[in-house]
Amino acid sequence: TTRIITFPTEFNAIAIGLQIENFDGTNAASYRINSSTNVMSNLPASNFRSFSGMNIVSVEVTTGAAGACLISGQMAALPKPAIEGSL
């Protein structure tokens, strides 16, 4: 299963911290941060990967055959646009 999360679209925020946990005890998962062209990185079975101090706009995760991944993030809200002519 592949899941792509685009933080500005889904949460009106960017992730400044992110953790990907692979709950599959047998199969590796793969992930890609902020890009649709970089090679997917491997996440071994029963492992996790953390990112901090970054501006993460998107993450793509592909789980192993029988596995699940948990994606946790710390969000920073995007500023609301100013409306001209408002008080």
Q: Between 36 and 28, where is the model more confident?
A: 28
Q: What is the residue-wise DSSP string for 37-56? A: SSPPEEE-TT-EEEEEEEEE
* Structure confidence at residue 3 as a pLDDT band (50, 70, 90): very high
31-46: pLDDT as tens digits: 999 987 889 999 999 9
58-87: pLDDT as tens digits: 999 999 887 799 999 999 988 877 777 655
Output the pTM of the full model. Answer: 0.84
**Which pLDDT score, from 0 to 100, does residue 80 have?**
76
